[in-house]
């Protein structure tokens, strides 16, 4: 799909959550390059304003900044209200974060915030935007999940559970909306060159087969017609296919041992 036809189906405005860094910022850059106006959502307003100014200058698009803490129960409503007058044809629900380590050692408040950001807000954003997309008669939703959604991952237990929710949400909505011509795609990246690893206490230098966030965003936009789920990395697709072919107990034991190392 070229930029003109993409904009005709999903334009004129796209919304991107988690746009201040990583995959979300790359989504914004890719969409702006196709001539899409943007709503950029995140907490770090200074980063959003810098990104908005750069994209407006280099791509001749309009970019609205929307500072929202997506862990708050009212986050989706704030976004829906702020965009009520805009013709948004593409919702990129990208924001999310993870926690590593033994489940019993994770901070309860951090886990609650993670569920709000990773699960609750995407669910309510979809609930609020679907009637608007139906009224338009076209458009789409992209959810950013993870390969860790494919099986319960020891020492990443709550995060992988939250991303499993995202996969099921996206698959269910694909089944509901595909007959109406509304596209739904859930992407499952593997290791990606973003801030996330360091924030979770992982040394980025130890990661292998790392994808660039620009590549992940590009694959998502190129495959929006090919839902319901896209595993972005061929390496991680092969790894998880091997794991899922094993008896579940064996796969989980292998994963737990690997994570401990």
pLDDT given for residue 222 in this prediction: 97
Burial letters 49-70, b for 16+ CB under 10 A, else e: eebbeebeeebebbbbbbbbeb
pLDDT given for residue 260 in this prediction: 78
pLDDT given for residue 120 in this prediction: 98
pLDDT given for residue 79 in this prediction: 98
Cα separation, 213 vs 247, whole angstroms: 33
Cα separation, 200 vs 148, whole angstroms: 15
Compute the CA torsion angle 220, 223, 225, 227 (nearest 10 deg): -70
Copy the structure tokens of residue 100.
């590593």
pLDDT given for residue 202 in this prediction: 62
Q: Cα angle at 114 between 85 and 46, to 5 degrees? A: 55
56-64: long-range contacts (C-beta < 8 A, 24 or more apart)? 58/32, 59/32, 59/33, 59/35, 60/35, 61/32, 61/35, 61/36, 61/37, 62/37, 62/38, 63/28, 63/32, 63/37, 63/38, 63/39, 64/37, 64/38, 64/39, 64/40
pLDDT given for residue 208 in this prediction: 73
Stretches in the chain below the pLDDT threshold 50: none
Compute the CA torsion angle 147, 151, 153, 159 (nearest 10 deg): 60
Number of other residues whose CB lies within 10 A of the CB of residue 162: 26
């Amino acid at each position: 799909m070229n930029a003109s036809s993409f904009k005709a189906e999903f334009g004129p405005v796209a919304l991107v959550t988690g746009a201040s860094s990583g995959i979300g910022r790359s989504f914004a850059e890719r969409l702006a390059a196709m001539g899409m106006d943007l709503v950029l959502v995140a907490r770090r307003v200074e980063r959003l304003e810098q990104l908005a100014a750069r994209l407006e200058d280099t791509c001749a698009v309009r970019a609205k900044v929307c500072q929202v803490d997506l862990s708050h129960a009212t986050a989706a409503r704030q976004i829906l209200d702020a965009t009520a007058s805009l013709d948004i044809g593409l919702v990129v629900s990208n924001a999310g974060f993870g926690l590593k380590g033994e489940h019993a050692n994770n901070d309860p408040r951090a886990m609650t915030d993670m569920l709000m950001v990773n699960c609750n807000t995407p669910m309510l954003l979809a609930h609020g935007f679907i009637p608007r997309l139906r009224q338009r008669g076209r458009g789409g939703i992209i959810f950013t999940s993870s390969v860790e959604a494919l099986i319960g991952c020891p020492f990443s237990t709550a995060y992988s559970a939250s991303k499993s929710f995202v996969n099921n949400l996206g698959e269910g909505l694909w089944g509901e909306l595909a007959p109406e011509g509304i596209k739904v795609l859930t992407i499952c990246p593997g290791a990606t060159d973003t801030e996330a690893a360091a924030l979770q206490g992982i040394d980025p230098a130890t990661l292998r087969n790392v994808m660039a966030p620009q590549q992940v965003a590009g694959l998502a936009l190129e495959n929006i017609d090919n839902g319901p789920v896209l595993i972005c990395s061929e390496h991680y697709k092969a790894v998880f296919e091997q794991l899922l072919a094993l008896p579940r107990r064996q796969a989980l034991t292998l994963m737990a041992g690997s994570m401990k190392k």
